[in-house]
Amino acid sequence: MMRKLSLLFAGALMGASAMSLVYGTPGSAANAAGSETYKQLAIFGDIFERVRAQYVTPPDDKSLVENAINGMLASLDPHSSYMNAEQAQDMRVQTKGEFGGLGIEVTMENDLVKVITPIDDTPAAKAGVLAGDYIAKIDGEEVRGLTLNDAVDKMRGLVNTPIKLTILRQGADKPIELTVVRDIIKVKAVKFRVENDIGYMKITSFTEKTYDDLENAIDTIKKQVPNDKLKGYVLDLRLNPGGLLDQAVSVSDAFLNRGEIVSTRGRDPKDVTRFDAKPKQVDDINGKPMIVLVNGGSASASEIVAGALQDLRRVTVVGTQSFGKGSVQTIIPLGENGALRLTTALYYTPSGKSIQGKGITPDIKVDQPLPPELQGRDLTRGESDLKGHIKGADESSTGSGSAAYVPPDPKDDLQLIYAEQLLRGQKTDPSFPPNPEKAVLNQ
């Protein structure tokens, strides 16, 4: 899922789609095609040769084949696709959670790359890059005319290699030249802070490092706030596009001591895989109350977590309808030819409901108003709006999704404020605190 106001880390192509990943193996067996299928393939081969021989300008053979493959996969659903070798490597970098780069969070503004923030203790921060800087040139090449992805590609590279940035800074009378030496950037998948007597944790994506980052966040919060003073936790899954299925299971397990977390079901009715929480006396936050925040930017793996904790009545979910991506993609390596990303299953919450095309309905709906500069823009995101999406078993005409917007200043964040007021007892609602004895389970 693409966010209109998305942020990219220089040195990594960060999530353009919401997906849960299960790695497959190359050379998987396939059913033999019938004779009619081979006739159709012969037609394709004939058309391919005619295009190569007679098109007005000589086409690129590799591009023709890649586009033909992607055309076939796009006809299945919006999340199946072919990744060439470079794209497959980008995907591996993204899910690994670390890369060779500069360590800056950026967006595009006025045809220039704008630095949102340099990540602490990274090459960019050490070199003097500041939030609000505009990158005008990369190694002497003008940024104007480049897409954000192109600019990011130029800024990432091998560790210990230098890159020269020409920066425009407010208050400076001339451009600033900085040389930055690339290094390994470890992206924090979990950002956290203490809000007086509440622990706040925001999961930005589900990479290989998410669970470890979450445990570090929980341990740090416990050290900063005595147990008798801690009112509870807020787990923010808004604008989280998803990621690795196993990490979603591990994150859910951290807050549970029993029950099914999620099940996946493939084409064969017998192809059902269930993931359960590990039995334990108490969960990782000592049973403290927790609020989960979701919106239209919460998709895939983040919906697995919200759905599991909601069905098992471990948390109260606050916000607006989530994206509704309830499909699992298997990544099938194709060696030096890249990888195939293929939808192979749908996942279901502990109650047996499919999120596909429906999403997670919050226990308490709290809308977040848009600021004046964004009013009139369509920031609504939902699987049910995607052309060719798989229709979910529980999908209705209402569809899925909602506005995908979170204010940058917590003081303007009505959803977060509402969650904190619930935890502090300043607001009351029948759904908080939830009763685990009333867990909704698949019978």
Catalytic residues: 300, 311, 325
Q: How many DSSP H helices and E strands does the chain contain?
A: 9, 24
Structure tokens at 15: 């999530």
By CB atoms closer than 10 A (0-12, 13-18, 19+), residue 387 is exposed
Helix (H) or strand (E) holding 195: strand 190-195
Q: Please name which of 186, 185, 217 lies closest in space to residue 203, comparing C-alpha atoms.
A: 217
C-alpha torsion sign, points 204, 210, 213, 219: positive
Between CA 318 and CA 406 the distance in angstroms is: 13
Tell me, what DSSP letter sits at residue 36? H
Beta strands in 280-338 (DSSP E): 290-294, 316-319, 327-333
By CB atoms closer than 10 A (0-12, 13-18, 19+), residue 130 is middle
Q: Please name which of 431, 430, 402 lies closest in space to residue 299, comparing C-alpha atoms.
A: 402
SS (H, E, C) 141-174: EECCCCCHHHHHHHHCCCCCCEEEEEEECCCCCC
Residues 205 and 241 sit within 8 Å (Cβ to Cβ):
yes
β partners of residue 372: none
